[in-house]
């Protein structure tokens, strides 16, 4: 499922126009992004939790040349599925 498919489902389920459903989804995604940028966790009960974590710097190898390279520290987003979501998959 891509974003357009999700917009269509939300529009149909919520009895909204596709344009309005797209605006709602964009607002939700923006709110999640802004919270994560400010290092806040986003908990959606029954669905899951979005959080950020830091990856420390390390060393790796260039697969083409075999040369050792430095990998910089970085931030990443993590998602942990909630119990209801996990249980619904079985």
Q: Are residues 25 and 48 in the same domain?
A: no
Q: Are residues 8 and 33 in the same domain?
A: yes
Residue 24 is given by DSSP the state: H
* Percent above pLDDT 90 for the chain: 96
Q: Which tens digit of pLDDT belongs to each residue from 34-68?
A: 999 999 999 999 999 999 999 999 999 999 999 99
**Beta partners for residue 70, in sequence order:** 59
**10 neighbors 16 (Cβ within 8 angstroms):** yes
Count up the domains in the chain and report the number. Answer: 2
Q: Are residues 46 and 84 in the same domain?
A: yes
Q: Of all helices (H) and strands (E), which one includes residue 39?
A: none
Closest CA to 80 of 52, 40, 38, 39: 52
Q: What is the CATH number of the domain that holds 71?
A: 4.10.520.10
């Amino acid at each position: 499922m891509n974003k357009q498919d999700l917009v269509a489902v939300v529009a149909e389920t919520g009895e909204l126009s596709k344009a309005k459903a797209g605006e709602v989804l964009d607002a939700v995604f923006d709110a999640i992004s802004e919270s994560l940028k400010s290092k806040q966790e986003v908990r959606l009960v029954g669905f899951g939790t979005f959080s950020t974590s830091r990856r420390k710097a390390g060393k790796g190898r260039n697969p083409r040349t075999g040369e050792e390279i430095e990998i910089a520290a970085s931030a990443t987003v993590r998602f942990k599925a909630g119990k209801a979501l996990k249980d619904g998959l079985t």
